[in-house]
Amino acid sequence: MSSRTYDIVLLGATGYTGKFTAEYIQEHARTNLKWAIAGRNGQRLESIAAELKTLNADRVQPAIEVVSLDAAELDALAKKTTVLISTVGPYWKFGSPVVEACAKNGTHYLDVTGEVPWVYEMLQKYHETAKANGSFIIPQCGIDSVPADLLAWLLVRHVRKTLNTGVREVVNSLQKISGAISGGTATTAISLIEAYPLKVLRKSMHPFALCPIPAPPKFSPGGILSKLLGYRTVPDLGVLTTSPQAGSDIPIVNRSWGLFDNGALYGPNFRFSEYMRTRNAFTGALTAYAFGLLMLGLVFKPIRSLLKRLAYAPGEGQTKEEAKHNVLRYKATAVADAQPARRAVATFDYTGPGYYLTGVMLAEAALEVLDGGDFYARKIGGGMVTPATLGEGYVERLRKAGCKIEVDMLD
């Protein structure tokens, strides 16, 4: 792919997350990177390019590619670049022709979707095509689902190195978060209910819907009582309740389980669950039932309309200044699949705008694909892979970018 015009093309640079991603590339990527910003509005792209130049004038400046979401134009764009990043959502509405163009032309594709039903659809349609052409499709390279996927992989690898055994269970928890979601994210979450029939949503959002190997026997994390009460207490993690991210993160982690040596690295008994920390049992139960009612309410159009009005408009969100003190913290524990059942712990901490972090994760994943070494995804050869398959090189990139990521044995 060295003969291609660009190393990276960022499609959607004028959007909220896209602009953060462009700024990060401009300020932190290698200065000889050949890249372009792409979108439908040439005037807005020129404005973004001018802003980017003020951030770092001493580097190769991004070219501008004005492109519609027409199949022929996307095909031509995909042929020009080694890696294509897309921040254009909702992905179920705008993303499919982009993935198709990349898969057919052997172009690596990355995004920040959390729309698992759409990811499932792309897996069915384009995994084999991308694999045959030697390109990667790597969805969910943002807060959905990089922290969860990397923490699970780091814990598994650490337990393997320390104890030479697999892992029985990883529990991930969102310990702290501050900040508001962008308008685009809110609109996408609501519109997803309108995009797919309930039958398709149920099938595609099964925890193992994206997994390349058969699902293990049914597993109820924390037991039936925990499920009924809506909370669970886990040593070193605290009182935990329903996490809005679980539906997006769990299928990706389970795909990683299946991709790494057909489940052998993580172990045949591996299970992953995800929660959000809460103050006590009462707030845990209240949160779980409130979230359940909200999900039920999304079935009804008046509720969806109300929530759309309450959200930021698409393309809007907190400014960098407003969000610079935001905090994001994940903590996960693993139980080794051996006796005695020793445990490990991993943490992921970041201070700053969450959507800037999404841009960091996305950009660094793209740069690792472009310049990285022999990470596991290369051994697979192509197709739909996960953030964890980018390996230690990707983890180190995130550490250098300001993410504090640690893993150790507990006992």
Secondary structure (DSSP) of 88-153: -S-HHHHTHHHHHHHHHHT-EEEE----HHHHHHHHHHHHHHHHHTT-EEE---BTTBHHHHHHHH
Q: How far apart are CA 266 and CA 270, in angstroms?
A: 6
pLDDT tens digits for range 236-248: 999 999 998 999 9
Give the CATH architecture of domain 6-143+357-393. 3-Layer(aba) Sandwich (3.40)
Angle among Cα 274, 280, 284 to the nearest 5 degrees reads: 50
Give pLDDT, residue 183.
Answer: 43
Give pLDDT, residue 198.
Answer: 86
Give pLDDT, residue 373.
Answer: 87
Tokens encoding 127: 């995994």
Give pLDDT, residue 182.
Answer: 45
Which residues of the chain, if any, have pLDDT below 50?
Answer: 182-184, 315
Give pLDDT, residue 302.
Answer: 80
Q: Are 140 and 113 in contact (CB under 8 A)?
A: yes
Q: How far apart are CA 218 and CA 248, in angstroms?
A: 19
pTM beyond cutoff 0.85: yes
Distance between terminal CA atoms of the chain? 47
Tokens encoding 362: 């996305």
Q: How far apart are CA 19 and CA 185, in angstroms?
A: 15
Residue from 178, 159, 255, 249 nearest 210 by CA: 255
Give pLDDT, residue 356.
Answer: 87
**Residue 347 DSSP one-character state:** E
